Amino acid sequence: MSIKGIRGFKDILPGEIEKWQFAEGEARRLFGLFGFSELRIPLLERTELLSRGIGASSDIVGKEMYTFPDRDGDSLTLRPEATTSIVRAYLEHNLYLKEPVGKYYFIGPMFRYERPQKGRYRQFHQIDAEFLGVQEAEADAEILVMLMRYLTDLGLKKVSLQINSLGCPDCRLPYKAEIQKFLRTKSESLCEDCQRRLDTNPLRVFDCKQATCQALLAAAPVVLDFLCADCRRHFERVKTLLNGLELAYSVNPRMVRGLDYYTRTAFEVVTGELGAQNAVCGGGRYDGLAEEIGGPPIPAIGFAIGMERLVMLLGEESNYSRHPDVFVAALGEEAQRRAFILLQELRDVGVWAEADYGGKSLKSQMRRADKMRSSYVIILGEEELRKGYAVLRDMATKGQEEIAWGEIVRSLKSKVGSEQ
Ligand code: HAM
């Protein structure tokens, strides 16, 4: 029996990869316009960094990390997200001393031991952006504008932005006490997970998918009502800025995030088109993370888009699939020899040229050109060779013209160039 790939780890094949390339290319283009630079982080980090950064009471650290001892006994973990690593790199290389504002993005795979299902994998990919060094609400609004413009540029329509404020440690403390008090009165009806969360991280109860827990939470106090004056002002300012930009959002006071480092603004982009895994993007402010992992206090905000989910929303594959500019169909040995040279000459000037080898019939070669959805076909037979020209067929209009042999490369280059 052949050996298969690992559950939750998927191959991305041609046919689909074009969408990934499109999404990545658009991110690089747009994020560049907002002044973000790429920063690449390693696949592995010290487990201790991630537990401290993401938080021991989070599901990620508690049960989803791929952790193993290195050969010398150090505990290492495959990165389950990028934010903590980017902040580590930012501190480790003293980037904050060189430039007080850091804007970075990273695109790559993450690893979480979750139960695989549609839209949820054990290796998945994120497009991550982090804006460090600015505490003002303008940074929050800017990151949200960049995110939503990106999704719009990709042509996604059925996505919506939900925002919330999770406050700072000062206002979260009284809220935590309040929600614990509320939940304790109902603890008998909570699921096992939520009973555990009640003591460790009561905010996470809001993330529970169980209908009974959700029903109980309808009357629960929400963190928005407990914000201190500064956090309240900050959140108001974020909303004012978004309104000024006419960026659509809704406030979801029950949206909490699964990672412990969040403070103040938190957000998600959700869609109704992906079933249970409806979050395309998650993010928020994490003003305490740099200090948590041993650095000075550095305010920051960022987001990560799940690429698998994003790509699922991109629609028909044919919109992204690549097809050759020209297919060179040759008949007879001498024509095949000349066609082979022509193929390379076309590629030399940037024209994607394809051919079929093995001396097949013209009909069979045309079928192949059609299947590959080539824009043009050059037909080169013995008669054409003798007379010094080739037939150029436009596959969209079905029109044909004769082109002198010496003119083919130049002519195709200009046709293809004007279409791009
Ligand atoms: P997160 O909400 O854990 O946030 O993940 C962000 C996005 O990654 C999710 O909205 C989802 O689209 C995708 N995602 C997460 N887990 C999986 C999975 N198992 N399979 C497929 N897609 C998945 C973070 O990771 C934060 N680091 C975001 C952030 C950046 N906050 C501030 N800066």
Residue linked to tokens 């440690």:
169
Q: What spacing in Å lies between the alpha carbon of 240 and ligand 1's midpoint? A: 27
- Which percentage of the chain shows pLDDT scores above 90? 84
* CB-ligand 1 contact for 284 (6 Å cutoff): yes
Nearby residues of 45 by Cβ (< 8 Å), 6 or more positions away: 76, 77, 79, 84, 85, 88
* CB-ligand 1 contact for 303 (6 Å cutoff): yes
* CB-ligand 1 contact for 121 (6 Å cutoff): yes
Cα distances (Å, whole numbers) of residue 230 to 29, 100, 136, 404: 35, 23, 11, 76
Burial class (CB in 10 A: 0-12, 13-18, 19+), 218: exposed
* CB-ligand 1 contact for 324 (6 Å cutoff): no
* CB-ligand 1 contact for 279 (6 Å cutoff): yes
Whether this model's pTM surpasses 0.85: yes
Structure confidence by residue, pLDDT tens digits, 129-154: 999 999 999 999 999 999 999 999 99
Residue minimizing CA distance to atom 33 of ligand 1: 302
Residue minimizing CA distance to atom 17 of ligand 1: 120
Judge contact between 415 and 326, C-beta under 8 A: no
* CB-ligand 1 contact for 280 (6 Å cutoff): yes
Q: What spacing in Å lies between the alpha carbon of 304 and ligand 1's midpoint? A: 6
Q: What spacing in Å lies between the alpha carbon of 267 and ligand 1's midpoint? A: 12
C-alpha closest to that of 208 among 269, 172, 256, 245: 256
Structure confidence by residue, pLDDT tens digits, 338-369: 999 999 999 999 999 999 998 899 999 999 99
Instruction: Give the tokens for residue 183.
Output: 């939940």
Gyration radius of the chain over CA positions: 28
* CB-ligand 1 contact for 283 (6 Å cutoff): yes
Best mutation site among 121, 124, 305 for ligand 1 pocket (most ligand atoms within 8 Å of CB)? 124
* 3-class SS shares of the chain: helix, strand, coil, % to 5: 45, 20, 35
Q: Where in the chain is the domain with CATH 3.40.50.800?
A: 323-419
**Superfamily of the domain at 323-419:** Anticodon-binding domain (3.40.50.800)
Assign domain 17-168+228-317 to a CATH class: alpha beta
C-alpha closest to that of 78 among 127, 43, 113, 118: 43
* CB-ligand 1 contact for 10 (6 Å cutoff): no
List, for the chain, all residue ranges whose pLDDT scores fall below the cut of 70.
Answer: 317-318, 419-420
Structure confidence by residue, pLDDT tens digits, 227-262: 999 999 999 999 999 999 999 999 999 999 989 999
Q: Where in the chain is the domain with CATH 3.30.930.10?
A: 17-168+228-317
